[in-house]
Structure 1
Amino acid sequence: MRSRVWCGSAVAVLGLLTAGCGGGNDTENKGTEKSAAGGGFPVTVTDCMDAKTTFDDAPKKIVTSNASSLELLLRLGAGDKVIGTGFPPGKGALPGELDAQAQKVKVLSQTVIPKEKLLGSGADLYIDTFASMAGMGGGMGDAPTEEEFKAAGIKHVYLRSTACAAMSKSPAKDLSAVENDITSLGAVTGTSAKAKELVAGMKQQVDAVQKAVGGTAENARPTYFFFDFDAGTKQPIAVCNRQVANAVITLAGARNVFADCDGDFKQVSWEDVVSGNPDWIQLGVRNRGSEAANQKAFDEAQKWLEGNPATKGLKAVEEGHLLRIGSERTTIAGVENAATVHEIAKAIHPGKAK
């Protein structure tokens, strides 16, 4: 399947958003911001392969590939248009009212939505967080082709900040790609005013952190390792410099120990981690659906690091510099990325970030 990853949106007469797929460092695009605020149609979404999808009006029936795009729609106030999702959020995974709304969304699959079910869902828009579903479905069949999506009357777009990460031309060092996705979703769903509000809130949080720690010299920044406990402990998975987590870590005033790895994720060895000897380690566990279950998972991740011969001597482990911050809010595009920047900065720069 050809990877069509959306880069952004703008009302057609004002031009297409071209910034973002290179590396996500262009945080300002006045044309897009202005057009999105107008809330007008048609809206054209342009992907990283230069394919265009035009919306003459807001979609009425949306299917999301996973909890990431579902949460963004809920935050935008477009949750009533979502008729189904794959990879649903666990109960309690989302805050407050968002969780109650999410639990009402029909679950089309606990993982990747099977091809026939997706095409027969009745959706007029499918929002895909993955660069390609090929190879992710196990025994669930192939992903639909663009021709099959078209025949079913489904427009197919991607969350560029996640799906386009691996093909970016430069490291992710800010949250502009995530902010552009929110702006794009707002334009497509007719919720641009709310999108602008969400982006402004993210910028306010990140700007406050940058004011406090942004000027920290590179050699004064503590080194940082994101430990994806749920990916398995036999061979660790590193977040590389194109992944949104690299931007989160960088903005918080730390240095990703695998920042020299080009791409989004990569299998590494424990020898590589030991060689990096991080000052801080994030216990990245996925949300279990309750605070008690989450704490149990964090406990298990910590005990593994403290008991494993290869990792128990790491500086971060010996000094107890182990942060309990969930995976999703760090590695998946969303409003919570900004809050995670703040939380990490408070921990690693206690005298500066408040």
Structure 2
Amino acid sequence: MTFHPSSRAALAAGLTAVLLLTACGAEVTDAGAGAGTVTVPRCGEQVEYTTPKRAVVYEGGSADKLFALGLTAHVHGYVMPPANPPVTGSPWAAEYARVTFLSDDLLNKELVVHERADLVVAGWNSGFSDKRGITPEILDSLGIQSFLHTESCFNYPGFPERVAPFEGLYTDLERLGRIFGVPDRAADLVRGYRQRVAAVTAQAPAERLPVFLYDSGTDQPFTAGRQVPPTDIISFAGGRNIFADLDARWTQVSWEAVVQAQPEVIVILDYGDKPAAEKIAFLRSFPTTRNLPAVVNDRFFVLDYNEGISSPRNIDGLEKFARYLRDLRR
């Protein structure tokens, strides 16, 4: 798909987005909150943003990035499908209570138009979707700004961008900081996150246990490839994702490959609608997996859904998993 930015006439429609496509390597300049516009990459293209005042965010990762940056006043509402755990358990539960819950369905164009959104924050194929008719290109044509999680830009048509998962988190915070006119706040937040990650990696052992992340699936397991946050979580904590060599995001593999890798630890991604306890029970009873070292030794670590997708909570998930591995070694 080749992207053609919407014209400047979109401003006359009463929405605030003007999109300019420039060379991918162009320097990004910060016009600041006072000027109201700034050019920031959206995956591999340069886009001019006007400071949003009525953002709609999809899933916890999108909301949490804005909440962590202190931008709650700029968030109109959130869309939260059932896979997400209840927001009452979030570190930003108070912020969720201050904005509008819009839907527990998948993201769709009709909703963001109805809510008069001036920015939509989501991932590619995890919010934005060709099949469901809500893409940055479509929103551009409506004069609605959009922001994609950098981690998801890996397979964004026309403008891919390859960034390691945790670097994608930092990049998002920095880019959102520029869009909303709070670059210093974003820089401070990223600096603190980097320091927390460095504290974990400094304690990581040289010998790395093989780790399998189990997302879902019975006929074939769904797991984490190289391009999603759990691979960095596992690696930084001192483990080795058995599927880190797969140049993919979330992907399907075979049970035979899992058995061949003989994982010593299994990370269970805990959904709101697919509880970890059910997945653990399956792995214990399934003939193919019940004799794996991790299952025999009861080495299951539960990773919250919002600690596994691109989110500030990745850092929390990393610290928890690192403590788990340290306790195992003791």
Question: Which structure shows the higher strand fraction?
Answer: 2
Question: Residue 281 of structure 1: CA displacement?
Answer: 0.4
Say which SS state the counterpart of residue 124 (structure 2) adopts: coil
Give distance in 2, aligned partners of 1:171 and 1:63: 25
Consecutive unaligned residues of structure 1, counting only runs of 5 or more, are 5-14, 20-30, 289-293
Structure 1 contact 280–322 (Cα < 8 Å) conserved: yes
Aligned AA for 2:208?
Answer: R
1:160 aligns with 2:160: no
Structure 2 contact 304–317 (Cα < 8 Å) conserved: no
1:188 aligns with 2:179: yes
Q: Percent identity among equivalent residues?
A: 27
Structure 1 contact 282–322 (Cα < 8 Å) conserved: yes
Say which SS state the counterpart of residue 46 (structure 1) adopts: strand
Aligned AA for 2:59?
Answer: N
Q: Give CA-to-partner distance per residue, 1:269-309, whole Å, 9 cap, x none.
A: 22221111101101211247xxxxx9xx3332222211111
Q: Give CA-to-partner distance per residue, 1:49-101, whole Å, 9 cap, x none.
A: 42x21135x211111122211111112111122123222555345435x2132
Cα gap change, 1:38/1:260 in structure 2, threshold over 3 Å: closer, same or farther?
same
Match of 2:217? 232
Cα gap change, 1:287/1:3 in structure 2, threshold over 3 Å: closer, same or farther?
farther
Match of 1:198? 189
Structure 2 contact 150–163 (Cα < 8 Å) conserved: no
1:102 aligns with 2:80: no
Say which SS state the counterpart of residue 349 (structure 1) adopts: helix
Structure 2 contact 64–312 (Cα < 8 Å) conserved: no
Structure 1 contact 16–45 (Cα < 8 Å) conserved: no
Alignment of 1:172-321 (within 5 A): 172=164, 175-213=166-204, 216-217=205-206, 220-228=207-215, 231-287=216-272, 297-321=275-299
Say which SS state the counterpart of residue 108 (structure 1) adopts: strand
Structure 2 contact 154–161 (Cα < 8 Å) conserved: no
- RMSD, matched Cα: 3.2
1:323 aligns with 2:301: yes
Give distance in 2, aligned partners of 1:111 and 1:3: 27
Cα gap change, 1:210/1:37 in structure 2, threshold over 3 Å: closer, same or farther?
farther
Give distance in 1, aligned partners of 2:136 and 2:328: 53
TM normalised by structure 1 equals 0.75
Say which SS state the counterpart of residue 102 (structure 2) adopts: coil
Question: Residue 170 of structure 1: CA displacement?
Answer: 6.5
Question: Residue 159 of structure 1: CA displacement?
Answer: 1.4
Cα gap change, 1:82/1:346 in structure 2, threshold over 3 Å: closer, same or farther?
same
TM normalised by structure 2 equals 0.80
Structure 2 contact 60–306 (Cα < 8 Å) conserved: no
Match of 1:74? 67
